[in-house]
Chain A
Amino acid sequence: MRAVLSAAAAGLLVLLSFAADAQETRRFTDSAGRDVQVPLRVGRVYAAGPPASVLVFAVAPDKLIGWTSPFRAAERPFVPERYAALPALGRLTGRGNTANVEAVLAARPDVIIDYGSISPTYVSLANRVQEQAGIPYILIDGSFGAMTKALELVGDLVGEPARARALIEYTEETLARVDASKPSPPPRVYYARGPNGLQTGLDGSINVESIARIGAVNVAAEALGRGGLVQVSMEQVLAWDPDVIVTIDPNFHAGVWHDPLWQGVSAVRARRVYLSPAVPFGWVDFPPSINRLIGLRWLSWVLRPEGAPADAADQVRDFFTRFYHRTPSDAQIASLLRGSGLPR
C-alpha cells in the first residue's frame, strides 16, 4: 500500500515538475532556520493562512494563486477584480485546517508560504506538508518587529526584491513617524471586542500589539499582565476608566453612545471611541499581517492630542494603492473611515 502510494506520489511529482517547467533549485533559509530547496524562479505561491495571503498579495499579487477564504461583498471593491476573483483554497495553518492538500497540489504552487508565529508545532506541520506534498514550505516570522525582514524574505523568495524594497521603505517610514509622535503622557487605551465590547486582549496577544507599538498603555495588559483574549466585566472597565476605546466591532461602536452603563467611562463621555476599519483587511489585529501598518498610523493619529493630519485620507489612499494595488474612490474612503475618528 505504502509503495503504491509513494509510487503514485512520485508519478504526480514527475508530472508536476514537467508542468511547472522543471527548473533548477536553490537553497533558501526560512525564519525557522530550515534549509529548503526552492525553485530558482517562483511563479506560483500558495499562502497557507490569511496573514501570508496579505503579505504575498502586497509583494507579488500576480504570483498569488488563491486566497484562504472567499472575499465578502464589502471587501471585494477594495482590491482589483482579477485578484478578488482568485479561488478560495482554504488555510493550511495549524489550527483549523480548511484546505485539502490535494486541492492545494492541484493548484500547482511552486512554494507554500506561511507567515505567523514560529513554534515547534508550525515547524513540524511545515515539514509534514512539505514531505507529503513535495512542495517547499517556507515559514516566515510574523512578529511585529520582524515585519521588514518578512517583506525582504518574500521579495527574495518570489523574485520581486524591488517591490519588497519599496514596501520596506514605507514600513520603515511608518515606524519612524509613529516613534517620532509617541503621545505623551501615554493615553490609557481599552481594546474592545465582541458584541458587547467586554472581550479584550492582554499583553503578548497579537490583538493589542499595535496599541503597545505606538506607545499607548493597554489598560487590560497593565492590570492583568500577559495572556491572550479574555472576557472582563463592565465594572472592571469602569474601574480602569480608559481615556480611549479602540474597537473592531461595529455593533458595539454604534451602541456604546446610547448605553447608559458605558456613559460612566471617560472615553465614551469624551467621544473617544474609535472603530477600526475592517475592509479588505483589518487595521488593528486581523489578520496579523502587514495590513496593520496603516492601523499604526491611524492609531497614532487618533491617540495624539493634535489629532490626524490634514492629509490623513490621502495617506490612507496611498497605503491602499501601494499594498492592495487599487486606489479607492472618495466614496470608498468615506465609507471606510466611518467611525474611525479620521476626517473623511
Chain B
Amino acid sequence: MKKGSARVVEVVVPLALLLAMVVGAFAVGKYPLDWRDVCWLFWAKLTGTPHGFPPSFETVVFGIRGPRIAGALLIGAALAAAGAAYQGLFRNPLVSPDILGVSSGAALGAVLGIFLSLPVAAIQGLAFVFGLGAVALVYLIGSSVRGHDPVLVLVLAGVVLGTLFGSCVALLKYLADPYNQLPAITFWLLGSLAGANGGDIRAGVLPMLIGLVPLYLLRWRMNVMSLGDEEAQALGVSTRRTRLVVVAAATLMTSAAVAMAGVVGWIGLLIPHVARLIAGPDFTRMLPVAMIVGAAFLLGVDTLARTMTGMEIPLGVLTAFVGTPVFIWLLAAARRSWT
C-alpha cells in the first residue's frame, strides 16, 4: 500500500503537472490570442464544428504552438531518458548523452549542411546521420581495442572523437561566410525550437520511439548493469549485447533530438539526478519519472524562450539559467540518498 501510493505520487502528480503545463503553453505566445479562443478552437476541432476564426488562428495553435509543444515534450523526455540510461550504463553520475560524441557528431552534420547552403530538411538529415555515424565509429573503435576495460575504452573513444568533431565544427565556422553562414551556425549550435513544424515532429517521433521502447523493456537489466560488468555477467546478463542495445537506443533518440532542435545541453546530465531525488535509484521507477520531468522542464523552458521577449532566447542558454537554481534548491531540499 505504502509502495503503491509512493508510485502514484511519483508518476501521477508530475503527469498532472505536465498536462497543466501543456494547456498553459497552448494559451500563451506572441500572437495575440485569447485563451478562451484557444479552448474554443480545440473544441471546434474536436467536434468538427466550424470555429469562425480567421485561418491564421488555426495556423498559430495547430501549426506553430502544437508542433513546438510536441517537440519540447519529445526532446525533453528523450534526452532525459538517454541521460538516465547512460548514467546507469557507465556507472557514473557525470555522464550525459553526449559522452559518446553524438551531439558533436550531429552538430558537425548540421554545420556542414549550413556551410553547403543546403535546405533545412537536408541540414536536419545530415545532423541525424552524423550523430548516428559518430557513435557507430566510437563503438567500432571501442570494441576493436582489446585488453582494457571495455567501458573505459568506449568512453575515451567517445571523448576523443567528440573533440575531433568539435574541431571540425570550429574549422567550418572559420571557413564559413562571416556575414551569412556564421550567424546561422551560431544560432543553430545554441539550440532552438523556433522553426519546429509538423514535418519535424513527424520525422523525429519515430526514431525517438524506437529508442525509447528498448530502454523501457531493458529497465530491469539496466539495474543489473549498474552493478558492474562482472556482477551483471554473474547474474546471467549479456553485458556486451545490453550495452550495444542501450547505446543504440540512446543514440537514436539524442540524434533525432539534436537534429530537431540543435544542441540542448543540461537536460541529459541533470534531469536524471532530479528523477533520482524523486524516485530513488531503481531504474525501473526512475526512468518514467525522468522522462516526465525532462518533458516538463523543456516545455517550461521553451515556453519561456518564446514568450519572454519578442526575440527567441536560445534553449542552450536558458536551460542552464532556469535549471541551475532549481537544481541547487532540489539538492538542498532533498534528504534522500544519492545513488
The segment out of A79-87, A131-139, A190-198 that lies at the interface is A190-198
**Does the CB pair A251–B179 fall under 8 Å?**
no
- Decide if B117 touches A251 in the complex (CB within 8 Å): yes
Is B174 positioned at the interface, with any CB of A under 8 Å from its CB?
A: yes
B118 at interface, CB cutoff 8 A: yes
Please pick, from B59, B174, B309, the residue contacting A264 in the complex, using a CB distance under 8 A: B59
**In the assembled complex, which residues on chain A have CB atoms less than 8 Å from the CB atom of B114?**
195
- Give B306's nearest chain A residue, CB to CB: A233
Tell me if A98 is interfacial: C-beta within 8 Å of chain B. Answer: yes
A233 to B193, CA, bound (A): 8
Known: A196-B120, A238-B31, A239-B31. A231 touches B192 (CB 8 A): yes
Q: Mark A215-252, 1 if CB is under 8 A from B, else 0.
A: 00000100110010111111110110000000011110
| Chain B residues, CB < 8 A from A220 | 310-311
B24 on interface, CB distance cutoff 8 Å: no
Q: Which residues of B contact A196 (CB under 8 A)?
A: 120, 194-195
Neighbouring A residues of B194 by C-beta, 8 Å = 196, 198, 231-234
Residues of B within 8 A of A233 (CB): 29-30, 64, 194, 306, 312
Chain A residues within 8 Å of B310, by CB: 220, 223-224, 232, 236
User: A96 at the A/B interface (Cβ < 8 Å)?
Assistant: yes
A175 to chain B, nearest CB (A): 23
- Residues of chain B within 8 A (CB-CB) of A96 are 174, 178
**What's the Cα separation between A254 and B117 when bound, in Å?**
13
A195/B123 in contact, CB under 8 A: yes
In angstroms, Cα B178 to Cα A231, docked, is 17
Contact between B29 and A235 (Cβ–Cβ < 8 Å)?
yes
A261 x B63 contact (CB < 8 A) = yes
Contact A239 B63 (CB under 8 A): no
Q: Is the interface of B mostly helix, strand, loop or mixed?
A: loop
> Given the complex of chains A and B, what is the CA–CA distance between A234 and B194 in angstroms?
7
Cβ-defined partner of A251 (8 Å) among B29, B32, B118, B197: B118
Tell me which of B35-43, B88-96, B180-188, B227-235 binds A.
B180-188
B47 proximal to A (CB < 8 A): no
| Contact among A234, A254, A260, A286 for B195, CB-based, below 8 A | A234
Minimum CB distance partner of B183 in chain A: A229
The minimal Cβ–Cβ distance linking B42 to chain A, given in whole angstroms, is 17
Q: Within 8 Å CB of A232, what residues of B?
A: 194, 310-312
CA distance in complex: A284, B314 (Å): 26
Chain B residues 5 to 46 lying within 8 A of chain A, measured CB to CB, are 29-32
0/1 interface trace, chain B 98-123, chain A, CB 8 Å (1 if under): 00000000000000001001111001
Cα–Cα, bound, A224→B312 (Å): 11
Q: Contact partner of B119 among A224, A230, A251, A287, CB < 8 A?
A: A251
Q: How far is the CB of A55 from chain B (nearest CB, A)?
A: 16
Q: How far is the CA of A232 from the CA of B31 in the complex (A)?
A: 12
Residues of A within 8 A of B179 (CB): 50, 282, 285-287
B55: interface (CB < 8 Å) = yes
Indicate if B155 sits at the interface (CB-CB under 8 A): no
Among A195, A231, A234, A286, point to the contact of B314 (Cβ < 8 A): A231
* CB proximity of B313 to chain A, nearest CB, Å: 9
A235 and B60 within 8 A (CB): yes
Give min CB distance, A43 to chain B, whole Å: 29
Q: Which of A50, A194, A233, A236 has the most CB of B within 10 A?
A: A233
Cα separation A9 to B118 with both chains bound (whole Å) = 47
B65 within 8 A of A: yes
Q: Mark B48-64, 1 if CB is under 8 A from A, else 0.
A: 00000001100110011
Q: Quick check: A235 and B31 within 8 Å, CB to CB?
A: yes
Chain A residues within 8 Å of B64, by CB: 233-235, 238, 261
Cβ of B123 and Cβ of A238 under 8 Å apart?
no
**Which residue on B lies nearest to A91, using beta carbons?**
B178
- Residues of chain B with a CB closer than 8 A to A223's CB: 310
Complex: A255 Cα to B123 Cα, angstroms: 14
Shortest beta-carbon distance, B28 to chain A, in Å? 10
Task: Give the docked Cα–Cα distance between A234 and B179 (Å).
Answer: 22
A199 at the interface (CB under 8 A from B): yes
Residues of chain B within 8 A (CB-CB) of A285 are 179
Q: Are A194 and B183 in contact (CB under 8 A)?
A: yes
**Chain A positions within 8 Å of B174 at CB level:** 96, 98
Q: How far is the CA of A263 from the CA of B59 in the complex (A)?
A: 9
Write the chain B residue with the least CB distance to A287.
Answer: B179
Task: Decide: B184 and A194 in contact? CB cutoff 8 A.
Answer: yes
CA distance A74 to B311 in the complex (A): 34
A95, A202, A220, A261 interface centre (most CB from chain B within 10 Å): A261
Contacts A195-B119, A196-B195, A198-B195; A238 near B60 (Cβ below 8 A): yes
Other CB < 8 Å A-B pairs besides A255-B120, A285-B179, 11 of them? Answer: A98-B174, A195-B118, A196-B195, A202-B311, A224-B309, A231-B194, A232-B194, A235-B60, A236-B310, A254-B119, A286-B180
- 23 A–B pairs (Cβ distance < 8 Å), ordered by A: A193-B183, A196-B194, A199-B184, A199-B187, A202-B311, A220-B310, A229-B183, A231-B187, A231-B312, A232-B194, A235-B29, A235-B31, A235-B306, A236-B306, A238-B60, A238-B64, A239-B30, A251-B120, A255-B119, A261-B64, A263-B59, A282-B180, A286-B177
Interface residues of A (CB under 8 A from B): 50, 95-96, 98, 193-196, 198-199, 202, 220, 223-224, 227, 229-236, 238-239, 248-251, 254-255, 259-261, 263-264, 282, 285-287
Question: Lowest 4 CB-CB distances: which A-B pairs, in order?
Answer: A286-B179, A196-B195, A230-B311, A231-B312
B contact residues vs A (CB 8 Å cutoff): 29-32, 55-56, 59-60, 63-65, 114, 117-120, 123, 174, 177-180, 183-184, 187, 192, 194-195, 197, 306, 309-312, 314
